[in-house]
A = this chain, B = another copy of it.
């Protein structure tokens, strides 16, 4: 299974969010080639601004494993994590983060000034299917403005 395969799973989650009228952001947590947690943005549905795709995917991975650390896992997410989600990922000690597209306005880099908010051993990569992810978000906001 490739990174692209799993990012497509995250995009599929994003589409589920979109269908419910949520900003289309999705995430999956993968360990040993298997999805162990998935989530999509549910902020509006739950009226809870902490219900981000990453938070839901992390909690579902913790539940699946019965463990609170994810050193061997990778998070695939369609947009750069925000400060909250970056803080959650720090606590999880996740091994690797792959995010599709940057979020210049609300991504974690908003406050970190180049300092990594993650665990020192966490690897971070970006760019994979980024255009596809951004297109989905832009389309969503364009439709809403109409």
Q: Which residues of A contact B (CB under 8 A)?
A: 43-44, 46-50, 55, 58-59, 62-63, 66-69, 82-88, 90-92, 108, 110-113, 115-117
Residue of B43, B62, B90 near A48 (CB, 8 A) is B62
- A145–B29 Cα distance when bound, in Å, is 34
Smallest CB–CB gap between A137 and chain B, Å?
Answer: 17
Q: Which B residues are CB-close (under 8 A) to A67?
A: 47
Q: Which B residues are CB-close (under 8 A) to A116?
A: 111
- A66–B44 Cα distance when bound, in Å, is 10
Would you call A87 and B92 a contact (CB within 8 A)? no
Q: Which B residues are CB-close (under 8 A) to A43?
A: 68
Q: Which B residues are CB-close (under 8 A) to A85?
A: 84, 87
Q: Which B residues are CB-close (under 8 A) to A58?
A: 48, 50
Q: Which B residues are CB-close (under 8 A) to A68?
A: 43-44, 47-49
Smallest CB–CB gap between A48 and chain B, Å?
Answer: 5
Would you call B49 and A91 a contact (CB within 8 A)? yes
- A115–B85 Cα distance when bound, in Å, is 18
Would you call A66 and B47 a contact (CB within 8 A)? yes
Q: A89: nearest residue on chain B (CB-CB)?
A: B84
Residue of B59, B66, B82, B113 near A115 (CB, 8 A) is B113
Residue of B49, B82, B108 near A62 (CB, 8 A) is B49
